[in-house]
Chain A
Amino acid sequence: MHIAVCIKQVPDSAQIRVHPVTNTIMRQGVPTIVNPYDLFALEEALRIKDRTGARITVLTMGPAQAEEALRKCLSLGADEAILITDKVFSGADTLATSYVLAAALKTLDARTPIDLIFTGKQTIDGDTAQVGPGIAIRLGCQLLTYVSKICELEPTARHIVVERRAEGGVQVLKSALPAVVTMLEGSNELRFADMPGMFRAARQEVQRWNRDSIGVELAQVGLKGSPTVVAQVFGPRPKAVKALRIDGETPDAIAEAFVDKLFADHPHLEDAMLEHLELLGQQGVKP
């Protein structure tokens, strides 16, 4: 069994600076991590490896420094790592990203057939949740998003049963391999890398693939292959009316003054609050 895990290196903090002229992210100096949702995907793959001895390949599209994120995955137990990197891939939106990742996965599949593709439900920097579905469509695989649990996996019968978070409940779905599975947060608990794993990761080669390795059309990658374009970046503007500052000598004085002012300005709030508390009381919720 061969599992591919698609990950992304993301900035660690919200303290990201933007270049004032080019409006692009200034990556220098911002600490990076593996997208936390992707780690749930990797852990799920590692658990399958523990049970079945599956082989795990991690892939990412990104700049040269994304190699660091791949090494982290190797230290946790992935067998092979591929960095898909090329100047022409930069500036990609989700459509162009899924095109490159799907092309890389096809190349990998031709070498060692892939049974399952895992990825996180979304990234913490883009928050789009669109690349997983994009990969599935481009590869003609089954798509299983927001998966909280893998109930059954039969590599020989080639089927998979999962629990999927749907609106208002959980769907239990039975599907076929190969499938793209996007994992929900909290679906498992991530292991720590051990010393042998870290040493192995430091020594191991991270393969580098470029546009020629995966045979892509230049018109479909990077900025050129992205139908969506950022037309402007802007900071939020303060509201026209400034916040009313509540003053007082002590915290209690401030609190009293605030509550009086709040209910004086918005008398309906008091009624709404009392009625709501009464309702909660009737439902047996202790106020």
Chain B
Amino acid sequence: MSDSLDTAAKPIKKPKRVLPERFKSYKGVWVFIEHEHGHVHPVSWELLGKGRELADKLGVELAGVLLGGMGEAVRELAAEVGAYGADLCYLARHPVLEDYRNQPYTTGLTELVDTYQPEILLLGATTQGRDLAGSVATTLLTGLTADCTGLDIDPSDRSLLSSRPTFGGSLMCTIVNLATRPQMATVRPRVMTMPARRPDRPLRVVEHGLQLDESAVVTKVLDFVPDVRADKPQLPFADFIVAGGRGLAKPENFTLVTRLASTIGAEVGASRPAVHAGWADVERQVGQSGKTVRPKLYIAAGISGAVQHRVGMEGADVIAGINPDPRAPIFDFANYALIGSAAELLPALERAFARRLAEARARRAQAAEETV
């Protein structure tokens, strides 16, 4: 994420609050490692990348926290925690923790926090991470900031600065938690960059025995029905995205977005107003209340570029905006400005890309023939 949304020009005005003595010994940055059915959610690795940066600024250790069942698979995941940058891994295995359930995971993570006392605890803003973060923060009576788009350390008092959109996504704010520990935050997938995997990094594993009892856990998992991958748009990992917004004016015009997308092999995205108007499925929504994406190319058609949308797509390598208003906020952070009506420019782009790609294909075919 570019730093234009990380900090403000104005100095931070902190309220006067004192950290109670009992929290002063809390040290270290923790990342909750989320996994389901043997797969770690990539957001956990992304958070280890950011966590490394925060830990280095604080001069403390970075730890991954892994809770799971008794199988060897969980122990193998622990090794990966080191590869993505952690100094140590707190590992708590128990048959009760085989599947994610709120109650035993809350008990387990709360006990680990109380025992090892980290100053910062980060979780992914996924269905699991948000379910757990809210419960753990309430149990510990500590502050939790949801869906942060930026995290930093204030060197003057070592506190965590959590930035996120506010007021319906029209502005950004920085939130601090000065009087309780740990300082908790959730971050959505694809907001932070994925760190490089280095399998040779040393890692200490601290195994922690939890006293849990299945008969005390009220909620039981009856079944798990995995998603069929193909019928869900894979927006967060798409390399090319064409997205449409309210500027398309008519539902029929949204098909122009779909057509350009299929010409260039892109996924279709949409702004919040376009989804609310019923032009696109909620799964395709990009922005603070939708998905965060990091494509190689993002074409925004008829999207004004409000903060709430911007935080979801600013990580794109190249952004092209299409808008009739040259002063639209999208042009404050786009790489290319196409001034005009999306309804006219989308079909023109379809033709231009089709021609250009056909030429490139022909060039490639010819080159291949020449080498033969």
B180 within 8 A of A: yes
Roughly how many angstroms separate A145 CA and B169 CA in the complex, as a whole number? 24
A203 within 8 A of B: no
Roughly how many angstroms separate A120 CA and B321 CA in the complex, as a whole number? 34
Chain B residues whose C-beta falls within 8 Å of the C-beta of A273 in the assembled complex:
240, 264-265, 297, 357
* Cβ-closest chain A residue relative to B165: A127
Roughly how many angstroms separate A98 CA and B135 CA in the complex, as a whole number? 11
B14 within 8 A of A: yes
Chain A residues whose C-beta falls within 8 Å of the C-beta of B289 in the assembled complex:
124, 127
* CB proximity to A under 8 Å, residues B302-338: 306-308, 310, 317-318, 320-321, 326, 329, 331-338
- Contact pick for B227, options A132, A144, A168, A236, CB 8 Å: A168
For residue A153, give the distance in angstroms from its CB to the closest CB of chain B: 15
Roughly how many angstroms separate A161 CA and B220 CA in the complex, as a whole number? 9
Chain B residues whose C-beta falls within 8 Å of the C-beta of A269 in the assembled complex:
296-297, 318
Contact A176–B218 (Cβ < 8 Å): yes
B351 within 8 A of A: yes
A85 within 8 A of B: no
- Contact pick for B332, options A13, A165, A238, CB 8 Å: A238
Contact B219–A142 (Cβ < 8 Å): yes
Roughly how many angstroms separate A44 CA and B173 CA in the complex, as a whole number? 34
Contact B336–A233 (Cβ < 8 Å): no
For residue A67, give the distance in angstroms from its CB to the closest CB of chain B: 22
A214-241 vs B, CB cutoff 8 Å, 1 = contact: the mask equals 0000000000001111111111111100
Contact B361–A137 (Cβ < 8 Å): no
Contact A255–B167 (Cβ < 8 Å): no
Chain B residues whose C-beta falls within 8 Å of the C-beta of A235 in the assembled complex:
171-172, 307
- Contact pick for B310, options A126, A136, A165, A236, CB 8 Å: A236
Chain A residues whose C-beta falls within 8 Å of the C-beta of B175 in the assembled complex:
228-231
* CB proximity to B under 8 Å, residues A225-272: 226-239, 242-246, 250-252, 254-256, 258-263, 266, 269-270, 272
Contact A171–B348 (Cβ < 8 Å): no
* Cβ-closest chain A residue relative to B273: A14
Across chains A and B, the number of contacting residue pairs, with CB separation under 8 Å, is 303
Contact B307–A236 (Cβ < 8 Å): yes
Contact A146–B340 (Cβ < 8 Å): no
Binds B, one of A46-54, A58-66, A205-213, A274-282: A274-282
Contact B222–A161 (Cβ < 8 Å): yes
Contact B146–A129 (Cβ < 8 Å): yes
Chain B residues whose C-beta falls within 8 Å of the C-beta of A146 in the assembled complex:
127, 131
Residues A251 and B344 in contact in the complex (CB < 8 Å), given A143-B131, A175-B219, A230-B166: yes
Contact B318–A144 (Cβ < 8 Å): no
Binds A, one of B36-44, B50-58, B59-67, B89-97: B36-44
* CB proximity to A under 8 Å, residues B248-277: 262-265, 272
Chain B residues whose C-beta falls within 8 Å of the C-beta of A255 in the assembled complex:
338, 345, 348-349, 351-352
B73 within 8 A of A: no
For residue B269, give the distance in angstroms from its CB to the closest CB of chain A: 16
19 contacts between A and B (CB under 8 A): A16-B168, A127-B289, A130-B133, A142-B218, A146-B131, A166-B127, A169-B37, A170-B227, A172-B222, A235-B171, A237-B4, A245-B337, A246-B336, A246-B339, A251-B348, A258-B338, A259-B349, A262-B318, A266-B317
**Across the A-B interface, the 7 shortest Cβ-Cβ residue pairs:** A133-B134, A227-B143, A234-B8, A255-B348, A128-B146, A238-B332, A228-B143
9 extra A-B contacts, CB within 8 A, seeds A172-B223, A254-B345? A14-B168, A95-B144, A143-B131, A164-B127, A175-B218, A227-B142, A232-B11, A258-B338, A269-B297
Residues of chain B whose beta carbon lies under 8 Å from any beta carbon of chain A: 2, 4-5, 7-15, 17, 34, 36-37, 39, 41, 99-103, 106, 126-128, 130-131, 133-135, 137-139, 141-147, 161, 166-180, 218-227, 239-240, 262-265, 272, 282, 288-289, 296-297, 306-308, 310, 317-318, 320-321, 326, 329, 331-341, 344-345, 347-349, 351-353, 356-357, 360-361, 364
